[in-house]
């Protein structure tokens, strides 16, 4: 399933203010990611946005709270696998989210990479 670029741009604005569930970071970290880590983060960000989009649809169709809880658990598990595949922890992912939110230069680089990643996904790479 591919996410259109406009949807990703909207998701980026929302998701950058939303951290992964049950993981909190007390203060803004100071360790800025290098380009390689920012690419991994951005790729994970896109994949997590896709999981969240799919989860939202499934949650709307859930008929019981238990089913909704199961769907949420599956989504959380998928997101953790995505992070592990990109060699990121949930804490580090959240730290980078915070940094992108407060550092205009880093945010611009994230947005540039995000466009590259979404264009690659749209072209089937």
Q: How many domains does the chain have?
A: 1
Q: Is the pLDDT of residue 44 over 60?
A: yes
Residue 84 belongs to what domain range? 5-13+34-122
Radius of gyration, alpha carbons of the chain: 15
- Which of the residue ranges 16-20, 37-41, 56-60, 88-92 would you say has the lowest mean pLDDT? 16-20
Report if residue 51 sits inside a domain: yes
Report if residue 71 sits inside a domain: yes
Residues 6+ apart with CB under 8 A from 25: 19, 91, 94, 95, 98
Phi, psi for 103 (deg, rounded to 5) = -110, 105
Report if residue 18 sits inside a domain: no
Report if residue 112 sits inside a domain: yes
Report if residue 53 sits inside a domain: yes
Q: What angle do CA 73, 15, 39 make, to 5 degrees?
A: 100
How far is it, in rounded angstroms, from Cα 119 to Cα 22?
A: 31
Report if residue 20 sits inside a domain: no
Confidence of residue 13 (pLDDT cuts 50, 70, 90): very low
Report if residue 102 sits inside a domain: yes
**pTM beyond cutoff 0.85:** no
Q: Is the pLDDT of residue 111 over 60?
A: yes
Report if residue 25 sits inside a domain: no
């Amino acid at each position: 399933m591919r996410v259109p670029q406009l949807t990703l741009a909207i998701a980026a604005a929302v998701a950058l203010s939303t951290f992964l569930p049950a993981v909190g970071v007390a203060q803004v970290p100071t360790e800025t990611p290098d380009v390689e880590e920012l690419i991994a983060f951005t790729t994970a960000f896109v994949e997590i946005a896709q999981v969240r989009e799919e989860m939202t649809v499934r949650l709307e169709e859930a008929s019981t709270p238990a089913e909704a809880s199961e769907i949420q658990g599956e989504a959380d598990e998928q997101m953790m696998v995505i992070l592990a595949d990109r060699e990121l922890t949930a804490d580090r992912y959240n730290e980078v989210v915070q940094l992108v939110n407060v550092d205009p230069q880093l945010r611009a680089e994230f947005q540039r990479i995000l466009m590259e990643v979404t264009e690659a996904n749209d072209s089937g790479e």
